[in-house]
Amino acid sequence: MARFVFITGGVVSSLGKGLASAALGALLQARGYSVRLRKLDPYLNVDPGTMSPFEHGEVFVTDDGAETDLDLGHYERFTGVAARKTDSISSGRIYSNVLEKERRGDYLGKTIQVIPHVTNEIKDFIAIGEDEVDFMLCEIGGTVGDIEGLPFFEAIRQFSLDKPAGQCVFMHLTLLPWIAASGELKTKPTQHSVKELRSIGLAPDVLVCRAEGPIPDKERAKLAMFCSVRPERVIAANDLKSIYEAPIAYHQNGLDQAVLDAFGISPAPRPDLSPWRDVVDAIHDPDGEVRIAIVGKYTQLEDAYKSISEALTHGGIANRVKVKVEWLDSEVFEHGDPAPNLEGFHGILVPGGFGERGTEGKINAARFARERKVPYLGICLGMQMAVIEAARNLAGIEKAGSEEFDHEAGATRFEPVVYHMKEWMDGSGRVETREAGDDKGGTMRLGAYRASLTPDSKVAAIYGTEQIEERHRHRYEVALTYREQLEAHGLRFSGMSPDGKLPEIMEIEDHPWFVGVQYHPELKSKPLDPHPLFRSFVRAAIEQSRLV
């Protein structure tokens, strides 16, 4: 039976609850325990799948096809535990489930209310798989006091009462602001946040305080007294140069010991943090530096490409170099020569996206990389744009384009080198069908699918195998109609779906490193296990840096 840690936040958002949860999971693993992490989000969207990246950052996709909050990416990167559909829930999904049951008559004519029907649905979700792990870590999105979060706070209060004493621990993350004018660290915001938490029946067992530096003994004692928390369970969460320092920093500040003490686990196994020390050492003592340009559509918000940014860092760790990422808006390359903006980079990465805006700039970036022999990695839309570029400028298909852009414009302007998928086979062999007019949410090709690699291809050498499984999130595919024309000019489809109908990978043969993939390899990369494509891409960038 799992022990439960509920992580809540107060004062302000974006303090790092997701990172604290992930780091705690890694620390418990380092002590030999098994863990699973969950995110409970109060927003009314059923999932983040239809949200703009500017609104909510990237959408993280699980193997079983769930579109989830980006914090699940942190959970996977720090613990290596593959997230599932049952690890992410929103108010929208909870209310949808309740209303579906009401329509079916499952409640036997009762009046449907937040308590007990909504809270019971939340509790049922929290309990899924509780017999599988030693610790279940559940992060509640938003901050205490948010009106939309109240059903979740009530549900975890009830859940803790349903369980035997000592099986649930509450960890509250707050802000300790430093007021420069008075030279003081202020505890009052944290006191008020804990007061708000206690007013709804919850009391923190562990208090994690985001602060610029160590918490002085005087302020720690004050927090302990006014928040009814033991002094040793008031934990400092300091700013770090790298998020991958978090497990070591939190351990040094006593987080994992405080949680274990709250559960009454003593003595506890000592943690083995040597793998994390190796990661931090590689980050802080690199042997060189490479410059990578990310040419994207949502570059104003780095969280829109969070997993890509982290995967590049992992590639740097694997090669012991610092990867300096620069974010370039693809619309800048719509007209004119992209060379002034792209010269001097050791690699170019074009990520995924939706819609026509900025795509001509991505095509121009792919052409620059192909012609200048600069390492190129195209992901999802980035692969499609590379194929369109080759179709136009190598195979002579002047009007090569995507059905996606014709659908947006309501006209036929392109020869569809990229088309809207209407049918494909899922991982279990079942045929999935979609139409262009279907609902946007949850209707893409989502989750893990297998691919077969050409034996003598570059990607087969990179992966070290001819069979792979990667995560997808797209509704448009490269058409095989022009395969012969493209391959005659050096573009090779070196990875295909098992039935041979869907191109998964393309590469340029006469190029040091030019690869496009229809899937999202960044979603499976971890600091302790960098993804092979990012490891190889950064290595190619190192070689390029020696030529520049």
Q: Which helix (H) or strand (E) holds 36?
A: strand 35-41
Q: Which helix (H) or strand (E) holds 339?
A: helix 339-342
Q: Is 497 part of a structural domain of the chain? A: yes
Q: Same domain for 166 and 60?
A: yes
Percent residues over pLDDT 70 in the chain: 92
Looking up residue 231, the CATH number of its domain turns out to be 3.40.50.300
380 part of the active site: yes
CA distance 514 to 492: 11
Looking up residue 358, the CATH number of its domain turns out to be 3.40.50.880
Q: Which residues, other chains included, contact 308 with Cβ-Cβ below 8 Å and sequence gap of 6+? A: 294, 349, 351, 379, 522
Task: Single out the catalytic residue among 346, 380, 389, 511.
Answer: 380
Q: How many contiguous H segments (helices) and E segments (strands) does the chain have?
A: 19, 25
Q: Is 294 part of a structural domain of the chain? A: yes
Strand pairing class (491-496; 503-508): antiparallel
pLDDT of residue 426: 56
Q: Which residues pair with 185 in a beta bridge?
A: 178
Q: Is 35 part of a structural domain of the chain? A: yes
Residue 407 has pLDDT above 80, yes or no: no
Q: Note whether 192 and 28 are within 8 A (CB).
A: no
Residue after which a domain boundary falls, among 279, 312, 329 = 279
Q: Same domain for 483 and 515?
A: yes
How far does the chain reach from its first CA to its final CA, in angstroms?
58
Q: Is 435 part of a structural domain of the chain? A: yes
Q: Note the pLDDT tens digit of each residue in 242-269.
A: 999 999 999 999 999 999 999 999 888 9
CA distance 474 to 403: 13
Residue 296 has pLDDT above 80, yes or no: yes
Q: Note the pLDDT tens digit of each residue in 53-78.
A: 667 678 999 999 999 988 999 999 99
Query: Hey, what amino acid is at 401?
Result: G
Residue after which a domain boundary falls, among 221, 247, 279 = 279
Residue 299 has pLDDT above 90, yes or no: no
Q: Is 329 exposed, middle or buried (0-12, 13-18, 19+ CB in 10 A)?
A: middle
Q: Same domain for 205 and 59?
A: yes
**Of 191 and 429, the one with more pLDDT:** 191
Cα 446 to the center of its chain, rounded Å = 15
Q: Same domain for 336 and 371?
A: yes
Q: Same domain for 247 and 294?
A: no
**Of 1 and 114, the one with more pLDDT:** 114
**Three state DSSP letters for 467-492:** EEEEEEEECEEECCCCHHHHHHCCEE
Residue 434 has pLDDT above 50, yes or no: yes
Residue 50 has pLDDT above 90, yes or no: no
Q: Same domain for 293 and 429?
A: yes
Six token digits for residue 134 = 């030693």
Q: Same domain for 273 and 341?
A: no
CA dihedral 111, 113, 117, 119 (to 10 degrees): -170
Q: Note the pLDDT tens digit of each residue in 357-367.
A: 778 889 999 99
Q: Same domain for 170 and 204?
A: yes
Mean pLDDT lowest for which of 368-372, 419-423, 511-515?
Answer: 419-423
Q: Note the pLDDT tens digit of each residue in 88-115.
A: 999 999 999 999 999 999 988 899 999 9
34 pLDDT band, cuts 50/70/90, is very high
Domain count, the chain: 2
Mean pLDDT lowest for which of 157-161, 230-234, 321-325, 340-344?
Answer: 340-344
pLDDT of residue 425: 52
Domain extent, residue 22, equals: 3-279
Mean pLDDT of 145-174: 95
Residue after which a domain boundary falls, among 259, 279, 299 = 279
Q: Same domain for 180 and 308?
A: no
Q: Same domain for 265 and 315?
A: no
Task: Single out the catalytic residue among 76, 470, 477, 522.
Answer: 522
CA distance 515 to 533: 9
Residue 424 has pLDDT above 50, yes or no: no
Mean pLDDT lowest for which of 126-140, 424-438, 480-494?
Answer: 424-438
Neighbours of 244 (CB within 10 A): 25
Q: Note whether 449 and 472 are within 8 A (CB).
A: yes
Query: What integer best gives the mean pLDDT of the chain?
Result: 90
Residue 433 has pLDDT above 60, yes or no: no
Six token digits for residue 303 = 């969280």
**Which segments within 488-544 are labelled E, that is strand?**
491-496, 503-508, 514-517
Residue 421 has pLDDT above 60, yes or no: no
Mean pLDDT lowest for which of 37-46, 81-90, 226-235, 438-447?
Answer: 438-447
Q: Same domain for 11 and 159?
A: yes
Six token digits for residue 478 = 């490269």
Mean pLDDT of 306-328: 96
In 3D space, the residue among 391, 346, 338 whose CA is nearest the CA of residue 508 turns out to be 391
**Of 441 and 369, the one with more pLDDT:** 369
332 pLDDT band, cuts 50/70/90, is confident
Tell me how far CA of residue 193 lies from CA of 112, 197, 243, 407, in angstroms.
31, 6, 25, 49
Q: Note whether 477 and 503 are within 8 A (CB).
A: yes
Q: The whole model's pTM is what?
A: 0.92
Q: Is 284 part of a structural domain of the chain? A: no
Q: Is 125 part of a structural domain of the chain? A: yes
Q: Same domain for 148 and 231?
A: yes
Residue 348 has pLDDT above 90, yes or no: yes
Q: Which residues pair with 517 in a beta bridge?
A: 379, 505
520 part of the active site: yes
Q: Is 93 part of a structural domain of the chain? A: yes
